């Protein structure tokens, strides 16, 4: 009865916990050098090579209005899939996978209407965690600009 949509991958940024559905996550890797991508949208830090595939690195710190900082050796990169492409997210740490039951998830509209990028909020024993929707991370204009930059680079 359990499937991947009942699981989330927890990660931290600046001591705050966030999550993605396990079904959207391909793997987690150690931090690697990010290659700048000319003409990419501001939300894109650059690109990384993931086993022969080039993936844009999204600046989720900027999207979440967190302080920007240099990449650290201890950082991890979450390789995840949106409906359009594979993306990479630099996070401070990945905290593992947690199983959910449907009643634990609170829809974002019940907390704050029009919460962008958030698919739901889950109540865990040690606090609340926002579950993010990667398909909402990039605006249509950002997607188009990223497509042009990725194709121009190759």
Residue 30: CATH number of its domain: 2.40.50.180
Per-residue pLDDT tens listing for the chain (154 residues): 345 568 999 999 999 999 999 999 999 999 999 999 999 998 899 999 988 989 999 998 988 889 999 999 999 999 999 988 999 999 999 999 999 876 577 777 777 766 677 888 888 888 889 888 888 888 888 888 999 988 875 5
Range of the domain at 102: 4-153
Rounded CA separation 117/105 (Å): 15
Please give the structure tokens belonging to residue 94. 């990945």
pTM of the model: 0.86
Classify 137 as helix, strand or coil. coil
Displacement of CA 108 from its chain's centroid (Å): 17
The Cα–Cα gap between 10 and 116 comes to 19
Count of structural domains, the chain: 1
Query: Distances from the Cα of 56 to the Cαs of 41, 49, 100, in angstroms?
Result: 10, 9, 29
């Amino acid at each position: 009865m359990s499937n991947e949509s009942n699981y989330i991958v927890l990660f931290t940024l600046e001591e705050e916990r966030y999550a993605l559905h396990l079904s959207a996550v391909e793997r987690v890797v150690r931090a690697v050098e990010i290659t700048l991508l000319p003409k990419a949208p501001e939300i894109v830090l650059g690109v990384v090579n993931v086993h022969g595939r080039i993936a844009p690195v999204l600046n989720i710190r900027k999207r979440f209005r967190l302080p920007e900082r240099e990449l650290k050796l201890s950082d991890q990169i979450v390789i995840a899939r949106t409906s359009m492409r594979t993306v990479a997210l630099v996070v401070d740490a990945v905290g593992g996978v947690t199983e959910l039951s449907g009643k634990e998830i609170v829809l974002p509209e019940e907390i704050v209407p029009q919460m962008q990028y958030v698919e739901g909020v889950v109540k865990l024993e040690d606090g609340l965690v926002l579950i993010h929707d990667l398909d909402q991370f990039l605006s249509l204009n950002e997607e188009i600009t990223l497509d042009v930059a990725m194709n121009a680079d190759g």
